[in-house]
Structure 1
């Protein structure tokens, strides 16, 4: 090579770090003070699911449903991302590809710094039209009776209620199939269709589940890590960042 000529680095390939797909449930947010779906001391205790988490319940008593979600929204605004949320964001910031599929309707993953978050069951900090699901609006306060969309219909929380379709499920299945490692955190794998995501993961793709009850929840072929999200996820991320891979000791 003559002096002053640029080096030919065409033979060098950029190092691509592996793709982590994380499937999170309410167990990752409970350490931030957000009650789980069935918590005996949570907002659900005095509200039957069919009254506040179905379209029929909303049609029969929209004020009660709106008030229920207004309370939840305020609880979520007061919450802060915990160590598990922050660890996943740090892994992404360190160059790993991290895609998060969450059943949670809070925004704690985003507030921690994660950029690629798919909310299967909607986002409580948004409202949507009750006649056209495509009309969505960010909200800063509460949703009240009389708040309407551009088509004049009452606004409702942008969450997926029981009996409604999960519009982003196909996108979640595609992400699951692209994983180099599939990590499940804080979910019982009991709510369908989300619980079936594992069936879309490649047969040779390693999978793990982090949960205090992982032994009783984990399907065959999935590594059970019996601990909280706040302990288990940062420990895994620390190891992966050090090794630059998803190998497990």
Structure 2
């Protein structure tokens, strides 16, 4: 790896060691290295499917079977993938005290399976479902975890018999205000945020790093491409998440994970 990256890794490690409250914000790029397609980019899911047909309340109201069929496919894909080195590195950094919390835009559970304990999901979780009528939100029932196809009868709410839907934030829906406020509070009290694999264009998630910046904290951006966040970042590593964390963990002498 070029010498310039070695210097950058040194800087990142110094910033981690000096930080009192560092957090991480992750986006689709980190999970892409586990084989989960991103939504934007040349291999993105939205290049194959129209979001208004699959991931909106209107779509579910119009054709819940079609939406569930797509989510069954997506759940099978996501649940069959494993955490990669970057997920494991972030969990190790939490375990060793360098990182206090992970905020993720991803709906997969790869951070948790890698060992991260303090994770906030801005856009919901594929491992949960909720009632279309708003009754409950529960863990994905065991008979739906290993879907090869959706059953003829769509999953029903045990409380009101209304339809269950994936507990993720769809286009046109607002984020859970409690989740959003928790993320903003974490960002404001943090002195360092690592922004990993996010396009930094989806609001309000894209505002999280700037809250840390406005509070006097620093931003480390890890992304192969420039983003709208790049001009505000103190360090930008133009690397994939895995390559970046390999360098960081080696410099920290924590690379045996």
TM-score tier, shorter chain, comes to 0.7 to 0.9
Rg (Cα) greater in structure? 1
CA distance in 2, matches of 1:162, 1:141: 26
Distance 1:40 1:206, change over 3 A: closer
CA distance in 1, matches of 2:128, 2:237: 34
1:106 corresponds in structure 2 to: 108
Structure 1 residue 63, shift from structure 2 partner: 0.7
TM-score normalised to structure 1 length: 0.83
Structure 1 residue 221, shift from structure 2 partner: 4.2
Match of 1:180 among 159, 184, 191: 191
Distance 1:141 1:192, change over 3 A: same
Distance 1:238 1:205, change over 3 A: farther
Deviation string for 1:171-216 (max 9, x for gaps)? 1101111212101000110011111112321442111110001377
CA distance in 1, matches of 2:131, 2:250: 43
User: Which secondary structure does the structure 1 equivalent of 2:156 belong to?
Assistant: coil
User: Which secondary structure does the structure 1 equivalent of 2:231 belong to?
Assistant: coil
CA distance in 1, matches of 2:166, 2:82: 21
User: Which secondary structure does the structure 1 equivalent of 2:52 belong to?
Assistant: helix
2:232 corresponds in structure 1 to: 220
2:245 corresponds in structure 1 to: 233
Structure 1 residue 217, shift from structure 2 partner: 4.9
Distance 1:134 1:19, change over 3 A: farther
Deviation string for 1:44-86 (max 9, x for gaps)? 4332111111000111111110011111110111111111001
Aligned residues: 227
2:76 corresponds in structure 1 to: 74
Structure with the largest fraction of helix: 2
CA distance in 2, matches of 1:110, 1:117: 7
